[in-house]
A and B are shown apart, each in its own frame.
Chain A
Amino acid sequence: MIPLPSLSAALRVWRRDLRVFSKIWRGALLPLFFDPLFYLVALGFGLGTYLATINGVPYREFIAPGLCGSAVMWAASFEVAWNAYFKMEESRLYDSVLATPIEVEDLVLGEVLWAGTRAIIYGTTFLVVITLFGLVESWWAIALPPFLLLGGLCFATIGLAYTSLIPKMDYYTFYFTLFITPMFLFGGIFFPYDRLPDWAQAVAWFTPLYHLVAIARDLATSPDVLTVAGNGAWLAAVTLVAFVVPVRGMRRRLVA
């Protein structure tokens, strides 16, 4: 097991990241924000006009909530990939942090919370956009941001675990090509899962995006509270269990 992190120490790490972000947010926000917007326009309004409805829902309305989930996934993953690796191995910023009363578990929690914060910013901004487009039909969507944060924390923890274990930055190619991009394409954003073979549904169940997209689509339409809670519990449980990995990995790497 790992020592319990100190929330106040973790928030000091979080505040440093917030301070840096407050200087660069214009440049940082735009690309990741336009990304899901382009998919929505190209697929929803472009391809979607050639498609019939999916389960009675117009195609653009079908994919819009799921894109909130993918915005969260990309935002959290970028933050704990190159950004974190740079601070760990290149600028050695983590060394200077760990020479203060902040311990590895606090540092990991702080970075995960920060990546989750970025994720909720991007995901919620996109939620506002699709609402303005008239693609959200249920008031339940107001309950989505906390789940976007939860999803962000989950992706951040998994990504930081990967960062703590890889020997060099080149390994992110594998992470994004073999994990993040397939989730984006097959995680249930662009087509429904119930028509796929059982094995494909089983594989999808093991990926975080599948659960986040399911929550987003449920809340944007007519949610079944128990299903939403079940998917949320999946994300929370995976986040908690996976949290051990980056703490151990970074401890071995930075304070062994």
Chain B
Amino acid sequence: MSALAVHARALSKAYDGRVAVDGVDFDVRAGECFGFLGPNGAGKTTTMKMIYGLAAIGGGTLEVLGRDVARERRQVKARLGVVPQDDNLDRELTVRENLIVQASYFGLSGRAADSSAREALGFAHLEDRADSGIQELSGGMRRRLLIARALVNRPELVVLDEPTTGLDPQARQTAWATLERLRGEGVTLLLTTHYMEEAARLCDRLVIMDFGRIVAEGSPAELTARYRQPHLEAVFLHLTGHGLDGYGRARLEALGERS
């Protein structure tokens, strides 16, 4: 078994001639939390979708958990957990049923499905909402349920696309704590975000993506040191600040000197 959870070489993808991912190379090690940082439209989501099978691979190679995604998508998906950017919970089912049905998609049924649903509920602290409808949940609870749903098959790798976008600060803290516990259990995490604070807190290593390309790679500390910037946010704006308006430029100046 490879010690790499994800191995991508010259990975690319175009939609109707528009290049979304433009030949990226990256490796995610088993057990780490790896981040994709970048502005909207940088190609992060497309990269994630290729990993979890919702976008066909345009070019290059992509191995996930030691398997070629292009040829063994079903087998790869069986070992993944996916937290999508948008809430696509099953609104016709209760919280518990969402988890049981999700478990059934992985071939778990009866008692096995019930117990994995119960475990996931507990992990996301949603036990007392088990029989609620999705509409009754707050945004933070829905996000926790999305995370719980990604865990029912006990995945080796969990892919999270902007796991805390749109959450209030308190709900975000709770989500982070949930992800940190998950990482503590040895699950590999791969997440996209445009919150520097999130990347700095959760990620062991990260890449900064812009216009479909990877423009920098390293740990949060390495990146701030390499680009001689005070924070990850300054590194980010330094590398991707091509389209900054006046406010953004002023903010960049305030954050640190350009190297």
Per the bound structure, the CA–CA distance linking A23 and B97 in Å amounts to 12
Chain B residue nearest to A21 (CB atoms) is B92
Point out the residue from A16, A99, A101, A254 that lies within 8 Å of B101, measured CB to CB: A16
Per the bound structure, the CA–CA distance linking A97 and B153 in Å amounts to 13
**Which A residues lie within 8 Å of B97 (CB)?**
19
B104 touches A103 (CB 8 A): no
Stretch at the interface among A87-95, A111-119, A191-199, A222-230: A87-95
* B54 CB within 8 Å of chain A: yes
B106 touches A98 (CB 8 A): no
Stretch at the interface among B76-84, B123-131, B205-213, B241-249: B76-84
A20 touches B73 (CB 8 A): no
Given A92-B88, A99-B84, answer yes or no on A12-B56 (Cβ-Cβ < 8 Å): no
Chain B nearest Cβ from A98, distance in angstroms: 6
**Which B residues lie within 8 Å of A95 (CB)?**
54, 84, 88
A100 touches B73 (CB 8 A): no
**Which B residues lie within 8 Å of A255 (CB)?**
53-56
Per the bound structure, the CA–CA distance linking A97 and B52 in Å amounts to 11
**Which A residues lie within 8 Å of B90 (CB)?**
16, 91, 93, 96
* B182 CB within 8 Å of chain A: no
Give 19 CB contacts A-B under 8 Å: A12-B104, A12-B105, A15-B101, A15-B104, A23-B92, A91-B90, A91-B91, A92-B84, A95-B84, A96-B88, A96-B89, A99-B82, A100-B102, A100-B105, A100-B106, A100-B153, A101-B77, A101-B78, A102-B105
Chain B nearest Cβ from A3, distance in angstroms: 10
* A2 CB within 8 Å of chain B: no
Per the bound structure, the CA–CA distance linking A254 and B55 in Å amounts to 8
A103 touches B91 (CB 8 A): no
**Which B residues lie within 8 Å of A98 (CB)?**
53-54
Chain B nearest Cβ from A245, distance in angstroms: 19
Chain B residue nearest to A6 (CB atoms) is B74
B53 touches A99 (CB 8 A): yes
* A256 CB within 8 Å of chain B: yes
A101 touches B105 (CB 8 A): yes
Chain B nearest Cβ from A113, distance in angstroms: 15
* B257 CB within 8 Å of chain A: no
Point out the residue from A15, A16, A23, A99 that lies within 8 Å of B54, measured CB to CB: A99
A254 touches B73 (CB 8 A): no
A20 touches B93 (CB 8 A): yes
Chain B residue nearest to A17 (CB atoms) is B92
Chain B, range 30-85, C-beta contacts under 8 Å to A: 52-56, 73-75, 77-78, 80, 82, 84
**Which B residues lie within 8 Å of A19 (CB)?**
93, 97, 101
Per the bound structure, the CA–CA distance linking A16 and B89 in Å amounts to 13
* B86 CB within 8 Å of chain A: yes
* B107 CB within 8 Å of chain A: yes
Given A12-B105, A101-B74, A103-B74, answer yes or no on A93-B55 (Cβ-Cβ < 8 Å): no
Chain A residue nearest to B77 (CB atoms) is A101
**Which B residues lie within 8 Å of A15 (CB)?**
101, 104
B88 touches A91 (CB 8 A): yes
Per the bound structure, the CA–CA distance linking A97 and B105 in Å amounts to 7
**Which A residues lie within 8 Å of B106 (CB)?**
100-101
Per the bound structure, the CA–CA distance linking A119 and B74 in Å amounts to 31
Chain A nearest Cβ from B73, distance in angstroms: 7
**Which A residues lie within 8 Å of B82 (CB)?**
96, 99
Chain B, range 133-155, C-beta contacts under 8 Å to A: 149, 153
**Which B residues lie within 8 Å of A100 (CB)?**
77-78, 102, 105-106, 153
Chain B nearest Cβ from A244, distance in angstroms: 18
Residue-wise, chain A 19-44 has the 8 Å CB interface mask toward B (1 for contact) of 11001000000000000000000000
**Which B residues lie within 8 Å of A9 (CB)?**
105
Chain B nearest Cβ from A195, distance in angstroms: 47
Chain A nearest Cβ from B54, distance in angstroms: 6
**Which B residues lie within 8 Å of A23 (CB)?**
92
Chain B nearest Cβ from A44, distance in angstroms: 36
**Which A residues lie within 8 Å of B93 (CB)?**
16, 19-20
**Which A residues lie within 8 Å of B74 (CB)?**
101, 103
Chain A residue nearest to B88 (CB atoms) is A92
